[in-house]
Amino acid sequence: MVKRTSLHGMWSSRFVFVLAVAGSAVGLGNIWKFPYMAGQNGGGAFVLFYLVCVVAIGLPIMISEIMIGRRGRRNPIATMRIVGEEEGSSPSWGLVGVLGILAGFLILSFYSVIAGWALSYFFLSLGGRFAQATPETIGRLFGGLLGNWQAMAIWHTIFMLLTIAIVARGVERGLEKFVRLAMPGLLVLLLILLVYAVIAADFAAGWKFLFRPDFAALTPGAMLEAMGQAFFTLSVGMGAIMAYGAYLPEGTSILRTSAWVVAADTSIALLSGLIIFPIVFANGLDPASGPGLIFETLPLAFGNMPGGRFLAPIFFGLLVFAAWTSAIGLLEPAVAWSVETHGRSRRVAGIVIGTVIWALGFLTILSFNVLSEFRLFGGTIFDNIDHLASNIFLPLGGLFITIFGGWVMCKNSSADELDLGSGPAYGAWRFLARWLAPAAVLVVFLHATGILGRFGLV
The fold of the 14-454 domain, in CATH, is Amino acid/polyamine transporter I (1.20.1740)
Selection from 385, 429, 383 nearest residue 406 by Cα: 429
What band does 2 get if pLDDT is binned at 50, 70 and 90? low
Q: What is the DSSP letter of 43?
A: S
Tell me how far apart the alpha carbons of residues 45 and 100 are, in angstroms, rounded to a whole number.
Answer: 31
Q: How far is CA 332 from CA 175, 211, 229, 353, 398, in A?
A: 9, 36, 23, 10, 18
Mean pLDDT for the chain overall: 91
Contact call for residues 156 and 112 (beta carbons, < 8 A) = yes
Phi and psi torsions of 376, nearest 5°: -135, 125
**Which pLDDT band holds residue 152 (cuts at 50, 70, 90)?**
very high
Alpha helices in 73-93 (DSSP H): 76-86
- Per-residue pLDDT at 138 exceeds 80: yes
For residue range 319-365, what is the model confidence (pLDDT) as tens digits? Answer: 999 899 999 999 999 999 999 999 999 999 999 999 999 999 999 99
Across 279-291, average pLDDT = 81
The per-residue DSSP string of 174-217 comes to IIIHHHHHHHHHHHHHHHHHHHHHHHHS-HHHHHHHHHS--GGG
**What share of the chain has pLDDT > 70, as a percent?**
99
pTM: predicted TM-score of the whole model, two decimal places: 0.93
C-alpha triplet 408, 104, 428: angle, nearest 5° = 35
Q: Provide the pLDDT for residue 1.
A: 59
Instruction: Kindly state the percentage of the chain with pLDDT values over 90.
Output: 63
Three-state SS string over 242-302 comes to: HHHHCCCCCCCCHHHHHHHHHHHHHHHHHHHHHHHHHHHHHCCCCCCCCCHHHHHHHHHHH
Q: What is the pLDDT of residue 6?
A: 85
**Closest to 180 (Cα-Cα) out of 400, 8, 19, 410:** 19
| Domain limits, the chain | 14-454
Q: Which residues on adjacent β-strands are paired with residue 379? A: 376
Interatomic CA distance for residues 276 and 206, integer angstroms: 8
